[in-house]
Chain A
Amino acid sequence: MNRKEAIGTALKSLDEEDIALFTTGMISREAFNIADRKANFYMLGSMGLVSSVGLGIALNTTKRVVVFDGDGSILMDMGTMALTACLRPVNLIHIVFDNESYQSTGGQPSAAAYTDLSEVSRASGYRFTHKITGDGVGENEMKRIFEKTGPVFVLFKVDKESNGHIGRVTLEPKHLKERIRKAICRG
């Protein structure tokens, strides 16, 4: 499955109220261009940090928090997986789009070719772990996964190929912060 399709399926499976966070680089850019929404938050920098920020939000809201992470990003801060399992946020879904490479910087291979990150999440103690390979997954199945009690981990194995030029996130950091605050605290 290509990354754009995989991210698109996950985005379509979100409820309007869900808080979604995206790791820096191509995953943010892809999501911003497919379907920007008010409850989306893009990490412009700080690769690796999105899993911690998502965890901090999930522990302080009853809304569902969905983290869109990459293999390179989660490998930088794999200890956060242990912490997530330890704190057991029932409303946290952690998706890793794994292309076994650092595509935002030119496609250099990552260590994920040798490490099954879904097995890492299982061993860390996530409540539910799911691995998606081959042709991928439909929207309905994805929605069913999102309804599991968290912390949930979803590993999406995606193609290495780049989808050509993808535009940058053009929203200002201050605006991104204010709108996600509103989205979290609303209702």
Chain B
Amino acid sequence: MDELLKSVFADRDVRYIPAVRENAALGIASGACLAGERSAIFIQNSGLGNIINALTSFNLLYKIPVLMFITWRGYRGKDAPEHRIMGKKTPAMLRLLNIPAVILSREYEKDILRAVGTMERKSIPVAVIIKDGLIK
């Protein structure tokens, strides 16, 4: 993730905002979208738990698209104990909310373009899930 972030923020057309929590990140990204910009947030799956209400009562309700890069802590149980439950439940939680999710493969550029396509077609948030060690 840190490598991905470095390359994203090296782009002069991208503005980085040090959001204080996931709610703020989603809210600011959504505001940017209302002002005609494309936006993305970068969070851990633990933070997905923090934004369920904003997703259901704001982004899904008003149909405000935001690309959500989510790192998959606790994937296959191999992580610190606090990530075990969310690690197991992350894809199911997104499915339950009907939020489309793409799990990044080695061909991640193609995957991200697919996620952006879905997001623009449906005008709702789309998750891009990143497993540890994928991007070097």
Interface string of B36-62 (1 = CB under 8 A from A): 110100000000000001101110011
Q: In whole angstroms, how far apart are the Cα atoms of A88 and B60 in the complex?
A: 29
A49 touches B54 (CB 8 A): yes
Residues of B within 8 A of A58 (CB): 31
A90 to chain B, nearest CB (A): 15
Q: Which one, B17, B32, B39, B58, contacts A49 given CB within 8 A?
A: B58
Q: Are B23 and A53 in contact (CB under 8 A)?
A: no
Band of interface residues on B = 20 to 34
Check: B86 CB closer than 8 A to any chain A CB: no
Q: Tell me which residues across on chain A come within 8 A of B63, comparing CB atoms.
A: 173-174, 177
Is the CB–CB distance between A60 and B31 below 8 Å?
yes
Q: Is the interface of A mostly helix, strand, loop or mixed?
A: helix
Residue of B with least CB distance to A41: B34
Residues of B contacting A95 in the complex (Cβ-Cβ under 8 angstroms): none
- Interface presence of B20 (CB below 8 A): yes
Q: Is B28 an interface residue (CB 8 A)?
A: yes
A139 in the interface, Cβ–Cβ < 8 Å?
Answer: no
A60 touching B35 by the CB < 8 A rule? yes
Q: Is the CB of A46 within 8 A of B53?
A: yes
7 A-B pairs besides A46-B53, A79-B21 with CB distance below 8 A are: A52-B27, A53-B30, A53-B58, A57-B34, A60-B35, A80-B27, A87-B17
